[in-house]
Structure 1
Amino acid sequence: MTSLLLTGVGCGLATTVTAGLLLPVLRHRLDVPNHRSSHTVPTPRGGGLALVVGTVVTAVLVALTGDAWPADTWVLLGASLVLALVGLLDDVRGLPPVPRLLAQVVVGAAAGFVVGGALGLVVGALVVPAAVNMVNFMDGINGICAAHAVVGGVGALLAGQALGSAPLSVLGALTSGAALGFLPWNAPRARMFLGDVGSYLLGGLAGLSVTAGLSAGADAWRPEVIGCLAAPYLLFAADTATTLVRRRRRGEPLLEAHREHAYQRLVHGHGLPHWVVSFAMAAAAAVVVGAFLGGWLPGLVASAVAVVGFLVVAPRVVPRAVAS
């Protein structure tokens, strides 16, 4: 565990230092706000490169120190970096939806097969694209993805410890470290955005962590493992799913930018600061993870309370709270 903590801390430091060095360069690639944006000031985009560099530097340093990681760790890490490359290409050149999705499926299936055989192939082909696109869809306000990735990384680390899976533990340490290192640059005030390169990396790490965990066999279906792997992104999944269903029913383009996510309505409709919504959601996710450590019943009850509270109760209660 000490080695994993050092890995996470090292990745966080490398990420935050790299972000500072990248900022002057990224100022030449600004995300200019439009009527669908959640930000109002042109902001450098592509800060996810800092997470990529921080992760790679940490991996190289670990390799040089002789603290060998299992081969599966390098497969999963390599797959996440390939997904980040796809996101970078989308940032720079703009990739059509079909090639993007195909790349996500192929990477997820290939990595899943290496670490989990036929079961891993199926899980990876389904979970990795879903996770990448979910994180990409939700990356709309300051701190939301980085804060959830911190929780998700800790969850993956705990799941890895419960399963005795070194690759999953390492992936969790790197995820939480990189996200924590980027967070000061993205919240409360955003000095840079992740861009697709960052959201693809974090989504890939989340999806590959789930793939590695579920490929571990029957032990993976224990509540503490499922909770640690899935609960960090419960609100992401619920918000994404309900938003897509609403837009589908109205016949609206599913991939077109919009402001209809629950977190966007809380920010734009009710005036809550970005960081308040982001950190409240991440805190709720952390509570749900903790509840699953106590078993299925507390975990499922906490999940229901979090989803209903965020999607149903908050939009009705927040206006009165703000007005008062």
Structure 2
Amino acid sequence: MSKLYILLSIAVLFCLERIYFKIANHYNIIDKPNHRSSHSNVTIRGGGVIFSLAALLFFLVFGFQYPYFIVGLLLISVISFIDDVVTLNNKIRLGVHLIAVGLLFFQWGLFGLAWYWIPVAAIFVIGTINAYNFMDGINGITGGYSFAAIASLFYINEEIVAFTSSELLIIVGLSLLVFNFFNFRKRAKCFAGDVGSVSIAFILVFFIGQLILATGNFSYILLLLVYGLDAVFTIGFRVLRKENIFEAHRSHFYQYLANQKKWSHLVISLLYVVLQLFANAVLLFVAKDSALIAISLTVFSAICFLLVRFYVEGKGVLLKNKADF
């Protein structure tokens, strides 16, 4: 991809984002803070629509590649955008999500493999999408973390093993840069919304799935290690506290740092990005194809994360239900 094309892509994506802002302002597509929010200002919701628009732009310009993935992405993005505007019935949203996941599997060629890979892949895809959606709560975290993942995937594609289109990786990365310009700041101009968090999760899952299928190396799941640790342990603590894990909450570690400790959103987001980049470096340059090192990285990271949470939040916060106090 030439430098001129990159500059033109940035300009187009920037204009598309600005056009969306005008539409969102006109139709009052905004996010108003509530008791679960980690922000205090009324902000445009759905700025993450730019991720899907970038993928669509790639599809139209580069010969209609990955059609089933693109259709699945558009379906899951549209239903998420509608859910950003008006609350949808869970059955409708779930139905569309399942169709999108099915199209993703078809793009991967998963239906040609042994049947047991379907439920394994479904857990990975649906779990990642939901974790990404739950982790989207402070300025910069979705855009910054996702850009780190895309940058790592681009390096793998260029230097280690070619598994996907570099052009698609680049244009998604550019859309993240544009989004971060408006979101990675003290007072964000826009939030990703469900359309943003769900669509970028769907895109990253597509890339990681391609990579795993091309190499047979499941360790590449660790490209999302930090998000995974926060999501999995938060669910675990909520189960121990006998809370309904399907109800909205502010129990993630990043939320505790933002709301109780009053850390800057951007500092927290950068912390998550740096930790994930460090994990990626270990995965790519130390672990390589060693499953033992990858497992050791996971266990060591999990222990460190637990110790930090207990030290910062305390046993009472993590293990006791509010009703026990």
TM-score by length of 1: 0.81
Amino acid paired to 1:158 = Y
Q: Supply the distance in 2 between the matched residues of 1:129 and 1:220 (Cα, whole angstroms).
A: 21
Gap change, CA 1:236 and 1:215, over 3 Å in 2: same
- Asked if 1:151 corresponds to 2:144, the answer is no
2:52 pairs with 1:52: yes
User: By how many angstroms is 1:115 displaced?
Assistant: 2.5
What is residue 18 of structure 1 aligned with on the other side?
A: 16
Matched with 1:265 is 256
**Given the alignment of the two structures, is residue 208 of structure 1 paired with residue 206 of structure 2, yes or no?**
yes
The equivalent of 1:90 in structure 2 is 83
Which 10-residue stretch deviates more, 121-130 or 256-265? 121-130
Preserved contact between residue 291 and residue 298 of structure 1 (Cα < 8 Å): no
Q: How does 1:66-85 map to 2 (within 5 A)?
A: 68=63, 71=65, 73-85=66-78
Give, as a single letter, the amino acid of the residue that structure 2 aligns with 1:20.
Answer: R
Residues 164-212 of structure 1 show CA distances to partners (whole Å, capped at 9, x for unaligned) of 3234x44433332221220011112311111111111101111222222
**For 2:249 and 2:234, how far apart are their aligned partners in 1?**
10
Alignment partner of 1:135 out of 132, 135, 157: 132
Structure 1 regions of 5+ residues with no counterpart?
Answer: 320-324
Report the counterpart of residue 188 of structure 2 in structure 1. 190
Tell me the distance in 1 between the aligned counterparts of 2:243 and 2:6: 42
- Give the structure 1 partner of residue 216 of structure 2: 220
Gaps in structure 2 of 5+ consecutive residues: 315-325
Q: Could you tell me which amino acid in structure 1 is paired with residue 49 of structure 2? A: L
AA matched with 2:40: T
Structure 2 residue 283 is matched with structure 1 residue 254: no
The SS at the match of 1:252 is: coil
Q: Which residue of 1 aligns with 2:94?
A: 101
More deviation in 134-143 or 92-101? 92-101
What is the number of equivalent residue pairs in this alignment? Answer: 302
Deviates more, 1:254-263 or 1:299-308: 299-308
The residue aligned with 2:43 is 43
CA distance in 1, matches of 2:209, 2:90: 23
Q: Deviations over 1:191-249 (max 9, x none)?
A: 11111111111011112222222333xx231xxxx55x423321111111111122223
Q: Partner letter of residue 245 of structure 2?
A: L
Q: 1:88 & 1:163 partners in 2: Cα distance?
A: 35
Q: In terms of mean alpha carbon deviation, does 176-185 or 193-202 score higher?
A: 176-185
Residue identity in the other structure for 2:97: Q
Distance (Å, rounded) in 1 between the aligned partners of 2:302 and 2:7: 31
Shift of 1:98: 3.6
Structure 2 CA distance for partners of 1:23 and 1:40, relative to 1, 3 Å? same
Q: Sequence identity of aligned pairs in percent?
A: 25
Could you tell me how far apart the structure 2 residues matched to 1:187 and 1:240 are? 22
1:18 CA drift (Å): 2.2
**Alpha-carbon offset, residue 49 of structure 1:** 2.1
TM-score, normalised with respect to structure 2: 0.81
